[in-house]
Chains A and B, each alone.
Chain A
Amino acid sequence: MNESAGGILDVVVGLAYLVAASLFIVGLKRLSSPRTARRGNLLGAIGMLIAIVATLLNQEIVSFTWIVAGILIGSAIGLWLAKNVKMTSMPQMVALLNGFGGGASQLVAGDEYLRYAAGTISPSLDVQTTIMLSVIIGAITFSGSIIAFAKLQEWVSGKTVVLPGQRFWAFAMFMVMLGIGGWLVIQPADMTLYIALNAIALVMGIFFVMPIGGADMPVVISLLNSYSGLAAAMTGFVLKNNGLIISGALVGASGIILTKIMCDAMNRSLPNVLFGAFAGKTMGGGGPAASAEGKTYRSVGPQDAALLLAYARKVIFVPGYGLAVSQAQHQVREIGEMLQARGIDVSYAIHPVAGRMPGHMNVLLAEANVPYPQLIEMDQINQDFEHTDVAVVIGANDVVNPAARHDKSSPIYGMPILDVDKARTVVVLKRSMATGFAGIDNELFYDEKTRMLFGDARKSLLAVIQELKNV
């Protein structure tokens, strides 16, 4: 009797996971339109709640004390983070959350390992294999995400940091990691080796993200996002839980797609991003930028910039990471509204890799209340530049560099760019003539129709707003 009741319970729990996984799929599907996205996210959350409640019915659970403690602590921290994070810090936030997901997978696998190492149950080969995979992927996700977070938060240099013997050590560690992992599958009871495996995987994660410069962050964050899903799926294999496997696979797929979109938007392959084609050039400092000497640029004050805008018919704003750094999104929106009130056509051109994560600029401008139909993707807006009177580039650099179209010697040659240089006049807001993250000089800045408005973007825009009021 008791046994059959347990059997029925198992079926109920299993079905609950199926419902949860279905809700995740429907939720993700609804994320594809701004009108349904919010409800889609809610469906995902409901799915998660169902999965958690179902899990609490699990027969293996003896004590709830520690579960409740963990849930309360985690929820409080998660809630605090979600309420307090600034929209400009969203890339860091996503990186950090990714790291926690990966870390959790690593720890769950570790706990399973302890059980088998204690010898109470003898593990099968496949469980042992997936435990090792869980640990490796989870640990790389954890430490890699923490480094990505630290870079975005500027706790460590956001630039390319090449550690001595980088490639050799990364390769050596990778091989050792596979070796130990393989050995532990056959001989699981070696605790020292297990700890070593964890440590090496954590160092691997650090090695993997440290060399990656700020402009390549969108790729890395997408990839880590994918890893956190794969780690969860591996945990699903360990625990023989198909609900976990489905959910993890969905996230893995989502991350892979975003990674591919980001790579395509830079016209670079994934290995090229990860193993740093820009590395040598960035470190050199002098390099291509030296050719800038002798070229002239034209600077402009806020007053003239305001006049240019006020008498335009069509204006396109092109935001980049500099907009996020100086938190100028509200000022941009204000200028946009002032121009619209004058009957000027205003839109925003968004490059897929502008900022530090996929969709970064859209979130910032949405926060500033820019209506989303005005935010236009690269492919749709590029033909509009030639009919545009003023293109305003705010803290963007490499994504508007015309060299990507014609200069075969340029490191960014072939990267799809916003054709800002086709506008009649270009106003570039920039702190100084320094080169962008890729360390490449930008010929747009020396174009005779370009006007440079130097200074912090936010302060410059505030000055332009003042001037616009007087025009």
Chain B
Amino acid sequence: MEGLLVSLYVFVLAIFVGFEVISKVPQMLHTPLMSGSNAISGITIVGAVVVAGRVESPVSTVLAVVAVAFAMINVVGGFMVTDRMLQMFKARGDTSK
């Protein structure tokens, strides 16, 4: 139970850190913020990898592999697409026309 309490502390404090850090993002970057934070929520990959590494039952393995794949889509897709968006934000238009 003590472990749970510590985790609860961590959880609540991290939410406050999140509020502090993120409330300053300008409207212009809201979409990259969403897709970027979205990629971070793919951290579930950590849990998925652990359960996929256990050898228990076929059902469990199937669930775990799908979980790894889902989380990885979230992670790779999220970070890549955020990067693609962010590289478009330029202070001056520099099309060579």
A-B contacts at CB below 8 angstroms, number: 400
A70 B89 Cβ-Cβ under 8 A: no
A window 146-170: CB within 8 A of B: none
Closest-CB distance, B25 to chain A (whole angstroms): 5
Closest-CB distance, A12 to chain B (whole angstroms): 15
Closest residue of chain B to A372 (Cβ to Cβ) is B89
Which one of A99-107, A289-297, A308-316, A423-431 is at the interface? A99-107
A42 B83 Cβ-Cβ under 8 A: yes
The dominant DSSP class at the A interface is: helix
- Across-interface contacts of B73 in A (CB, < 8 A): 74-75, 77-78, 81, 97, 100
Complexed CA–CA distance, A31 and B34 (Å): 10
- Across-interface contacts of B14 in A (CB, < 8 A): 21, 245-246, 249-250, 253
Closest-CB distance, A369 to chain B (whole angstroms): 4
- Across-interface contacts of B67 in A (CB, < 8 A): 70, 103-104, 107-108, 111
A60 interfacial by beta-carbon distance below 8 Å: yes
Identify A31's interface contact among B25, B60, B64, CB under 8 A. Answer: B25
Identify A55's interface contact among B6, B36, B49, CB under 8 A. Answer: B49
B63 A110 Cβ-Cβ under 8 A: yes
- Across-interface contacts of A359 in B (CB, < 8 A): 27-34
Identify B70's interface contact among A64, A100, A244, A357, CB under 8 A. Answer: A100
B41 A241 Cβ-Cβ under 8 A: no
Which one of A232-240, A412-420, A463-471 is at the interface? A232-240
Closest-CB distance, A256 to chain B (whole angstroms): 8
A51 B93 Cβ-Cβ under 8 A: no
Closest residue of chain B to A21 (Cβ to Cβ) is B14
B7 A237 Cβ-Cβ under 8 A: yes
Closest-CB distance, A359 to chain B (whole angstroms): 3
Known contacts A371-B91, A372-B90, A64 near B53 by CB under 8 Å: yes
Identify B45's interface contact among A87, A104, A114, A236, CB under 8 A. Answer: A104
- Across-interface contacts of B35 in A (CB, < 8 A): 90, 93-94, 97
B window 76-95: CB within 8 A of A: 76-95
Closest-CB distance, A260 to chain B (whole angstroms): 9
The dominant DSSP class at the B interface is: helix
B31 A251 Cβ-Cβ under 8 A: no
A window 1-44: CB within 8 A of B: 17, 20-21, 24-25, 27-29, 31-35, 37-38, 40-42, 44
A82 B31 Cβ-Cβ under 8 A: no
Complexed CA–CA distance, A225 and B95 (Å): 34
Closest-CB distance, B95 to chain A (whole angstroms): 5
Identify B40's interface contact among A74, A247, A366, CB under 8 A. Answer: A247
- Across-interface contacts of B90 in A (CB, < 8 A): 366, 369, 371-372
Complexed CA–CA distance, A273 and B70 (Å): 29
Q: How large is the interface on B (under 10, 10 to 19, 20 to 34, 35 or more residues)?
A: 35 or more
Closest residue of chain B to A40 (Cβ to Cβ) is B36
A319 interfacial by beta-carbon distance below 8 Å: no
- Across-interface contacts of A33 in B (CB, < 8 A): 26, 29
- Across-interface contacts of A28 in B (CB, < 8 A): 18, 21-22, 33, 36-37, 40
A85 interfacial by beta-carbon distance below 8 Å: yes
- Across-interface contacts of A252 in B (CB, < 8 A): 15, 18
Closest residue of chain B to A37 (Cβ to Cβ) is B86
- For A197-238 the 0/1 string (1 means CB < 8 A from B) is 000000000000000000000000110010011011101111
B window 38-72: CB within 8 A of A: 38-57, 59-61, 63-72
Closest-CB distance, A436 to chain B (whole angstroms): 21
A78 B15 Cβ-Cβ under 8 A: no
Closest residue of chain B to A350 (Cβ to Cβ) is B27
A window 266-301: CB within 8 A of B: none
Closest residue of chain A to B92 (Cβ to Cβ) is A371
Chain B residues near A (Cβ < 8 Å): 1, 3-4, 6-7, 10-12, 14-19, 21-57, 59-61, 63-95
Task: Give the 6 A-B residue pairs with the shortest CB-CB distance, closest first.
Answer: A74-B72, A253-B18, A70-B68, A61-B53, A359-B30, A78-B76
A to B CB contacts below 8 Å, 21 in the list: A28-B40, A32-B21, A37-B89, A61-B54, A66-B53, A74-B74, A100-B70, A100-B77, A105-B47, A107-B67, A222-B34, A225-B38, A244-B47, A247-B40, A247-B43, A249-B14, A249-B15, A359-B31, A362-B28, A363-B31, A367-B88
Known: A78-B77, A225-B37, A237-B11. 8 other contacts (CB 8 A): A24-B40, A52-B49, A60-B54, A62-B55, A71-B49, A101-B74, A244-B46, A333-B93
